[in-house]
Amino acid sequence: MLSKINYFLYVYFTSYPQYIYKKANIGGYFALSGVGLGLIHSQIVFWVANTITVPCLITIIENNYHFELTHVNVSILTFCTFLYTASFMKTNYLYRYIHLKK
């Protein structure tokens, strides 16, 4: 379980996906290159969701008594939850793919 958590941290907070992609392209491993590209896309989706979620949460916290745009914030947070879920599912699938091939 700890190795899976470390893997997720490597994917989202380091340049590990770019490293896999570059190493696979240099070596000619096209399947691993696709895994690296999938991890890069997953990392991008994760950070886009973070970029949208943080200002939305700050707005909700600061304007807790103003309900004019609450439905918009809830819609945005629902969309970001979808982005997080898609990113985590894709990363989990690619994790299993990498570890089955070893």
pLDDT higher than threshold 60 for residue 102 = no
Tokens of 1: 């379980």
pLDDT higher than threshold 80 for residue 68 = no
What is the average pLDDT value for the chain, to the nearest integer? 87
DSSP H helices in 1-102: 2-13, 16-27, 30-62, 70-101
Whole-prediction pTM value?
Answer: 0.85
Q: What is the pLDDT of residues 10-42, one digit of tens each?
A: 899 999 999 999 999 999 988 889 999 999 999
Domain ranges of the chain: 2-101
DSSP state for residue 68 in the 8-state scheme? T
pLDDT higher than threshold 80 for residue 64 = no
Alpha-carbon span 39 to 36, nearest angstrom: 5
Which of the four pLDDT bands, split at 50, 70 and 90, describes residue 66? low
Is 36 within 8 Å of 21 (Cβ atoms)? Answer: yes
